[in-house]
Amino acid sequence: MDFKHISAMPREVMAFLDPKPGETFVDGTLGGGGHSSLIIDRIMPGGRFIGIDQDMDAISNARERFSHHGDSVSLIHDNFANIASVLSEQGISGVDGILVDIGLSQHQLNGSGRGFSFMRDEPLDMRMDSLGDTTAEELVNTLPEKELADIIFKYGEERFSRGIAKAIVRRREVAPITHTLELADIIRFAMPAKAVAKQKIHPATRSFQALRIAVNHELERLERFMDDFLALLNPGGRLCVLSFHSLEDRIVKQKMRYLASGCICSKSIPICVCGNEPKVKLLTRKAVRPADDEVEANPMARSTRLRACERL
């Protein structure tokens, strides 16, 4: 397994999370364990660390890497949407910091053989959790054309979604679509040649991203996490979220802003009647983007957005 993952925005993440010896931290997306390792180094001795990932490969890798910390480090195969039950099972009622770094690990993209990339021919699986309920192959071969087009449009922001869905349905009537390169070809030839020539990204990028988001229910799980995190943070505890997609960032932004807002009364009412108090302080007013030197060294970090807040 290739777990040489380059962690995104490590300086900024550590500055916002500010882990200190003896604190309790959760990394909801262990991946290659890069951020986790930085956090663990700072909270030990005396700290407690809970690492979660829905990919069993990430858990196995982390078990090898962090086993020397004994019971201070727990590594749990689950979805971060279930963070409340994960912490309750560990007997933990409050933590000092939570990180989620949403997206694909280097291992998933390049070494898992699960069809996340159109750069090599692999079965169309795309599940981050191999126990997940549906695969990309099932979606492309069974969804009605309109639903397929809607997924590609909504999650991929792909303007040629209708033509792509039509081409997929036409092809699957001949034989099921089972592999990445076949799907990437169908997508490419469903797009106008002029548009393909003009694009800087591979023509299948947006459609693959959309299918992955749908297969893994990524936005629904993020929403659930954002509904639950506050109750799990100790006062002064910090949340840091790294996202790579505008739809994810919007969910994070809206929830953080809502929690940071005090009065939510209509402007037409002269005195506050809602009694709503701010619950968090925003540590980032706008999404923070990676510095130029990081993007130069790791072009994949280009679209990362970081948002952080602190519980009051």
Ligand X SMILES: C[S@@+](CC[C@H](N)C(=O)[O-])C[C@H]1O[C@@H](n2cnc3c(N)ncnc32)[C@H](O)[C@@H]1O
**Which residues lie near ligand X (CB under 6 A)?**
5, 7, 28-29, 31-35, 52-55, 58, 79-81, 101-105, 128, 221
State which residue, 33 or 237, has the beta carbon closest to ligand X: 33
- The tokens describing 192, both together, are 């106008």
Q: How far is the CB of 1 from ligand X (least distance, A)?
A: 11
Q: How far is the CB of 13 from ligand X (least distance, A)?
A: 8
State which residue, 128 or 165, has the beta carbon closest to ligand X: 128
CA dist 186 and 267 (Å) reads: 52
Residue with tokens 């910091």: 97
State which residue, 26 or 190, has the beta carbon closest to ligand X: 26
Exposure string of 141-167, with b = 16+ CB inside 10 Å and e = fewer, is: bebeeeebbbbbbebbebebbbbbbeb
**Structural element, H or E, at residue 182:** helix 180-190
Instruction: Say what the alpha-carbon torsion angle 42, 305, 147, 178 is, to the nearest 10 degrees.
Output: -60
145 Ramachandran zone, left/alpha/beta (phi>0; psi -120 to 50): alpha
Q: How far is the CB of 224 from ligand X (least distance, A)?
A: 9
Half-sphere exposure of 20 (CA within 13 A, CB side): 5
State which residue, 56 or 274, has the beta carbon closest to ligand X: 56
Structure letter (DSSP) for residue 37: H
Q: How far is the CB of 78 from ligand X (least distance, A)?
A: 7
- The tokens describing 266, both together, are 């209509």
Looking at beta carbons, which residue is closest to ligand X? 31
Q: How far is the CB of 105 from ligand X (least distance, A)?
A: 4
Q: What type of residue sits at position 248?
A: E
State which residue, 10 or 123, has the beta carbon closest to ligand X: 10
CA dist 193 and 180 (Å) reads: 20
Q: How far is the CB of 108 from ligand X (least distance, A)?
A: 6
State which residue, 32 or 237, has the beta carbon closest to ligand X: 32
